[in-house]
Amino acid sequence: MLELLPLLMFVFACFTLMMGYPVAFTLAGVALLFAGIGIISGTFHAEFLLNYPERVFGTISNYTLIAVPLFVFMGVMLERSKIAEELLENMAKACGRLPAGLGISVVAVGALMAASTGIVGATVVTMGLMSLPTMLKKGYSPALATGTICATGTLGQIIPPSIALVLLGDIISSAYQQAQLDLGIFNAAPVSVGDLFLGAIVPGVLLVVLYTVFLFLVGVFKPELAPPDAQEQSFSRRKLITSILPPIGLILLVLGSIISGRATPTEAAGVGAIAATLLATIKGQLTLDLLRDVARTTTICTAMVFAILLGASLFSLVFNGLGGEQLIHHFFENLPGGAIFAVFIVMVVIFVLGFILDFIEITFVVVPMIGPVLLKMGVDPVWLGIMIAINLQTSFLTPPFGFALFYLRGVAPKELKTSSIYRGVAPFIVIQLILLVVLAIWPDLVTWLPKLIKT
């Protein structure tokens, strides 16, 4: 029974989180509780806890994690400066007469928002407030409208520069280093957040294309669900260009500097934050109140992320001290099918955990547990990171606990039924599962670009 303490610790943490207690304090509290149980039962050495200050210092001095508040600042500044509203209005006029033109416009704007903000909740809420009333007014099926918005909002999970990829990349990098050291390899090439950014570009573009094709086919074969705009819209090509250039320019500036090797993700995040502020100034939106609001939101979000990280660090320390890593390694070693089946099991577990845990919690708690074990089995770290990111994105859409559904439900009209939201996301979940299968069969779709840039 005592050898199952790590498993009981994990289950108890999940149960406590489901009860609504604060994540950071829950993880740290559960860790200390089971550390005490382990000390009393003789299965945990108290000296393990002396390593915690080193982990805290490692987090404080982690240069990569500086990108988190900078990317959050960039995203919030763009969201508050109403650049997306102007872009959606002009895109809708340009595509309105096409089959499902408004829906396709929402996907395009949502993809640009996701690439600019990298925050799932902010994108879903913003797109819900901006586009849902218009889509319903134009005669769109409530299910299709809400499904499109939810799916588009979660693109912030996979399209770089994504906060999720920054955090996941840092954890994957640490797990890969640990795996290589355990295998006796001391000169392995490091894995960086930039590698995950590069690996996510092709899957992210594929996902946007698949969403667009699906909506176009719905508009062609079932126009009653996504009717074209029957009213003549005064479309200005100049306004469209001037509204689309700022976010695209910002994306190219941030990603281009990373891909070209001229800047690290952290440096690119700093450039993005300044550029977003300049865009808000050019648009005439920057005020002292706006700057204060953006700074406050950035501080709250960053404090939440790092508080969870510190709590999760203590949790993983105690988990490993209780023999959790050996338990997982032994479990995977005895699985039939080797690394392939092991990855499949992990994907299923992460998908289920995505119903009850946020991506930050899964990234900080689950990935450090399973990452080193899978990477020692020869799994490519960049491919594994992207598969986890898309998997979490899918779980965010899956009823009844998908986080994106809750975000949209909070801003949707009260008369819109929750069942409509559930029905609407179903085809997009299928699309994402198809993409996961495609990436599993052809992993080069993920690994090709990072290898090409490195060479």
Of 78-82, 294-298, 370-374, 424-428, the least confident: 78-82
The structural domains of the chain, with segments of one domain joined by +, span: 2-454
pLDDT reading at 310 higher than 60: yes
The residue written with tokens 């719905």 in the block is 218
Residue 264's pLDDT is what?
Answer: 81
Question: pLDDT digits over 342-373, tens only?
Answer: 888 888 888 888 777 777 778 888 888 888 88
How big is the chain, counted in residues?
455
pLDDT reading at 401 higher than 70: no
pLDDT reading at 192 higher than 90: no
**Cα–Cα dist 329/178, whole Å:** 14
Reported as a pLDDT band with limits 50, 70 and 90, residue 215 is very high
**Cα–Cα dist 194/196, whole Å:** 5
Question: pLDDT digits over 106-127, tens only?
Answer: 888 888 777 665 566 667 777 7
The residue written with tokens 């392939």 in the block is 340
User: What tokens were used for 322?
Assistant: 């209780």
pLDDT reading at 178 higher than 60: yes
The residue written with tokens 């009850």 in the block is 356
What is the residue-averaged pLDDT of the chain? Answer: 83
Reported as a pLDDT band with limits 50, 70 and 90, residue 206 is very high
Question: pLDDT digits over 225-260, tens only?
Answer: 888 776 655 666 777 777 788 888 887 888 888 777
- Angle between helical axes of 101-117 and 237-259 (0-180°, round to 10): 40
Classify the C-alpha dihedral 157-424-301-83 as positive or negative.
positive
Most confident of 76-80, 123-127, 356-360, 374-378: 374-378
Question: pLDDT digits over 11-24, tens only?
Answer: 888 788 777 777 78
Q: What global pTM score does this model have?
A: 0.82
Higher per-residue pLDDT: 190 or 148: 148
Specify whether the CB–CB gap between 387 and 339 falls below 8 A: no
Residue 436's pLDDT is what?
Answer: 92
What is the percent of the chain where pLDDT is above 70?
94
Full 3-state SS string of 162-217:
CHHHHHHHHHHHHHHHHHHHHCCCCCCCCCCHHHHHHHHHHHHHHHHHHHHHHHHH
Specify whether the CB–CB gap between 131 and 85 falls below 8 A: no
Higher per-residue pLDDT: 432 or 48: 432
Residue 452's pLDDT is what?
Answer: 82
**Cα–Cα dist 35/44, whole Å:** 7
**Cα–Cα dist 455/451, whole Å:** 6
User: What tokens were used for 336?
Assistant: 């039939």
User: What tokens were used for 142?
Assistant: 């409530």
**Cα–Cα dist 171/154, whole Å:** 21
60-73: average pLDDT: 83
Residue 16's pLDDT is what?
Answer: 84
